[in-house]
Amino acid sequence: MLAVVAGVLAAMCLGGGVVGYLVYDRVTTPDRSTPDVVVVAYLQATLISPDPNRAALYTCGSSLSAVEAFRQQIEEREQDLEVKFSINLEHVIVSQTSPDDAIVTLNIRRSAYIDGVPQSLTDSWRFQVVNRHDWRVCGGEPVI
């Protein structure tokens, strides 16, 4: 009888551990399910709440130097004007060129109150996204 109870308890603990691991994995794995989700998450981790380690989770390892230069430009402008920009991502459009390649275009709006007057700038951007088991941002450039 004691062996049966011990066996049931061991099975419950093992099952609970497996369920716990699966829940933990699902909660901590970044969402890279669609091209637009990946681009928005990458930009949030790069421009809105800068975290280079988090941003790297959404790239295919290639340098996104144009986006980094844009981020530095924003930071310099904030220091010059002594303001903090509010960044909004607007009009996200996905153009899937193949099952594993897509182009995501969007507008990045920077807004702030400067000398008490609300002002904003909008920049259009285009991102190349590829699907290699999940979607990743591989390139980005401003649309001129």
Q: List pLDDT tens digits, range 95-115.
A: 988 999 999 999 999 999 988
Residue 58 forms part of a structural domain: yes
* Domain-embedded: residue 74: yes
Residue 75: which domain range?
32-142
pLDDT, average across residues 30-36: 86
Beta bridge partners of 111: 86, 120
> Does 16 map to a domain?
no
Within-domain flag for 26: no
Q: How many domains does the chain have?
A: 1
Euclidean distance between CA atoms 90 and 98, whole angstroms = 24
141 pLDDT band, cuts 50/70/90, is very high
In the Cβ-directed half-sphere of 49, how many Cα atoms lie within 13 Å? Answer: 5
Residue 58: CATH number of its domain: 3.10.450.50
Q: Which two tokens stand for residue 2?
A: 């004691």
Q: Would 20 be classed as within a structural domain?
A: no
* pTM across the whole model: 0.79
Let me know if residue 18 belongs to a domain.
Answer: no
DSSP state of 49: S
Predicted local confidence at residue 16, as pLDDT: 57
Cα gap 107→91, rounded to integer Å: 6
C-beta separation of 48 from 126 below 8 A = no
Q: What is the distance between the alpha carbons of residues 85 and 119, in angstroms, rounded to a whole number?
A: 10
Report d(CA 31, CA 44) in Å as an integer: 13
Where is average pLDDT lowest: 12-21, 105-114, 116-125?
12-21
Is residue 23 domain-resident?
Answer: no
